[in-house]
A and B are shown apart, each in its own frame.
Chain A
Amino acid sequence: ETGVTQTPRHLVMGMTNKKSLKCEQHLGHNAMYWYKQSAKKPLELMFVYSLEERVENNSVPSRFSPECPNSSHLFLHLHTLQPEDSALYLCASSQVGALAEAFFGQGTRLTVV
């Protein structure tokens, strides 16, 4: 248990579906992140929320839409995905301004069919 909980753990969706990934952190952190982990590629930063405001969006396709309603919750809304979007999606949190590392959830394994 890392203090960062992601649901669901596994998700299979069709290309026309709409689904959402959820992340919740119980560590009192004020920054949250979405990373994508694909086979044989570096972990890719997708979105950063610091103090509930989006501060970075690394040119992620618009079919991925993040939402951060408060400092403890982070969502990733998915719609009209492609098979190449199949990957492990990791949520992480950290404390802005502190010499602290990021804590990761266990990830959601997404398969787009």
Chain B
Amino acid sequence: AQSVSQHNHHVILSEAASLELGCNYSYGGTVNLFWYVQYPGQHLQLLLKYFSGDPLVKGIKGFEAEFIKSKFSFNLRKPSVQWSDTAEYFCAVNMKGNTPLVFGKGTRLSVIA
């Protein structure tokens, strides 16, 4: 069965620090990869996605993620975080063919001034 691992449960950063959140998945086939964000009290919303092509994907709000097939990884990055990036971040995977998304446990990011 597919699984998604997010290495950090809670990350605390100061404003302007750089961010990298890890995500690894266990599936040998062709996959679609997603990062979702959930701001406090709000719904899950898509941050970025990878289906094919350039493994470096750029999303909203200055986020990007890099798909490294050999490492089964899809890490999320942002060069300089802001207080408003405080949220929970979820990595998700599905197989080609629009199977349901499988999510990681999430990483809570707290950005302090």
Q: A residues touching B (Cβ–Cβ < 8 Å)?
A: 2, 4, 31, 33, 35, 40-43, 45, 48, 56, 90, 92, 94-107
Contact = CB atoms under 8 A, between A and B. Distances in A.
B100 A33 contact: yes
Contact of A99 (B32, B36, B44): B32
A97 B9 CA distance: 33
B104 A42 contact: yes
A2 B98 contact: no
Contacts of B102: 42, 45
B82 to A, nearest CB: 23
A48 B45 contact: no
A40 B106 CA distance: 8
Interface of A is mostly: loop
B105 A42 contact: yes
Contact of A101 (B4, B46, B104): B46
B43 interface: yes
Given A42-B105, A99-B51, A104-B43, A94 B4 contact: no
A41 B3 CA distance: 13
A60 to B, nearest CB: 13
A48 B100 contact: yes
Nearest to A41: B105
A3 to B, nearest CB: 10
A40 B105 CA distance: 7
